[in-house]
Amino acid sequence: MSERKRVWLLSDGQPGHDSRSQGIVRALADVTPLDVQVIQLSMRLGLARNVLRFLLNHSDSPLSIHILKLFYRMDPLPGGGCDLVVSAGGKTSFANAWLARLTGAASIFAGTLRRLQARQFSVVMTLEPVPGADNNLVVPLLPTTIDLQSVEKQGESLRNELAGDGWRYWLMLLGGKGAGYAYGQQDWMHIADIMNTLADRHGIRWLLATSRRTGAAGEQALRHYINPACLARACWHEGGETFQAEAFLGASDQVFVSEDSMTMLTEAMSAQHPVYSLCPEQALPDNRYEQALSRYVDAGRLCRFALAELAEQPALFDERRYTPEPLPASYLGNELANRLGWPVVSRGQST
């Protein structure tokens, strides 16, 4: 039996970053056995990034763990070292490079480097090329925790549970204020109008999930304006219900997502369904966010709608409806193992 590779997964506690790094680990676990240990950390001061960047970019030798702990609060490091450090999100990048250098391990970072040199990592995973970086892995879709086998299995179970109504299902995933987006009463009314109209036009019923950012006022508006007859199942965050992402994604043919949530968008795209983002009237995403959305559109994995436009012209959905090209099941795990020089063993299991 092949020896398990020891992986330290650095977590800053942000769900989107954790989903990305856990997705990397899951992809590798598909092709080689892993022993994964999560290390929680947080940066003490934002200004520390400039100092950490300077220390890493201007040295090549291992740096003391005691210095790193001046800048980070972090869990005790597991004994025995590791073979790989994995993380996502800018605040983890410095700790990733530092610990990899300290332990002699390989490293994978997913995210924007922000002037930290690419050479600090074994693999830098991005949606767009990093100029001059031979270790840059450009992916069509950032990894998530969504597993296609689980999506299919759980989706089938949910469809069987709902089979008595005889409908096909589409999914609406809703966030709320954040990433430069804000939703008012009119936006929630537009979402309800879209759901009611498309359900009638296409003979479908909706699965619906809200989130913490939707808020009580948003949920109240949705409950008031959505026709209950077009809902097959709703998971209201304010009601304390647990959202089963893979079951809802697996049971759905089409997925609509409020554009403020990159995590929900990438998870939906990872299920390899058609995904449509919905943009409210008040939308000022930063340049990086806008570029990420545009790249997904260019890659044929996302279609964007303005809420008001689609509510007023529902026929636009028929004009822009699409089917994404499927991604090979193990493409990411195989590519990462190859770049790390690890043998591809079999479908592994992490612990």
pLDDT recorded at residue 241: 77
291-320, pLDDT tens digit by residue? 999 999 998 999 999 999 999 999 999 999
pLDDT in the model for residue 293:
94
- Summarize pLDDT for 317-329 with one digit per residue, the tens: 999 999 998 877 6
Q: How many CA atoms lie within 13 A of 349 on its CB side?
A: 2
Answer yes or no: CATH 3.40.50 is held by domain 5-140+329-340.
yes
* Strand pairing class (181-182; 282-283): antiparallel
Amino acid at the residue 16: G
Q: Is the pLDDT of residue 247 over 70?
A: yes
* Mean pLDDT to the nearest integer, 182-206: 96
Provide the 3-class DSSP secondary structure of residue 258.
strand
DSSP 50: H
Q: Which residues contact 123 (CB under 8 A, 6 or more apart)?
A: 106, 107, 108, 109, 135, 136, 137, 336, 339, 340
For the chain, the straight-line distance linking the first and the last C-alpha, in angstroms and rounded, comes to 16
Whether the predicted pLDDT of 6 surpasses 90: yes
In the prediction, which pLDDT does 148 show? 87
Element (H, E) at 313: none
Q: Where are the beta strands (DSSP E) in the chain?
A: 5-11, 34-43, 72-74, 84-88, 106-110, 123-126, 136-138, 168-173, 181-182, 204-209, 231-235, 255-258, 275-279, 282-283, 303-306
Least confident interval from 110-114, 134-138, 257-261: 110-114
Assess whether pLDDT exceeds 70 at residue 165. no
Residue 141 has a pLDDT of 85
The correct CATH number of 148-320 out of 1.10.3860.10, 3.40.50.2000, 3.30.360.10, 3.40.120.10 is 3.40.50.2000
Domain ranges in the chain are: 5-140+329-340, 148-320
Q: How confident is the model at residue 207 (pLDDT cuts 50, 70, 90)?
A: very high
What pLDDT does residue 1 have? Answer: 43
Q: What is the CA radius of gyration of the chain?
A: 22
Average pLDDT over residues 19-27: 93
Tens of pLDDT along 77-130?
A: 999 899 999 999 889 999 999 999 999 999 999 998 989 999 999 999 998 889
Task: Please answer whether residues 170 and 255 qualify as being in contact, where contact means their C-beta atoms are separated by less than 8 angstroms.
Answer: yes
Q: How far is CA 286 from the centre of its chain?
A: 18
Q: Per-residue pLDDT averaged across 205-223, rounded?
A: 95
The answer to whether 32 and 348 are in contact (CB under 8 A) is yes
| Topology match between the domains 5-140+329-340 and 148-320 | yes
Q: Is the pLDDT of residue 61 over 60?
A: yes
Predicted confidence band of residue 2 (pLDDT cuts 50, 70, 90):
low
> Does 274 have pLDDT greater than 90?
yes
| Distant-in-sequence, close-in-space partners of 341: CB < 8 Å, separation ≥ 6 | none
- pLDDT given for residue 218 in this prediction: 95
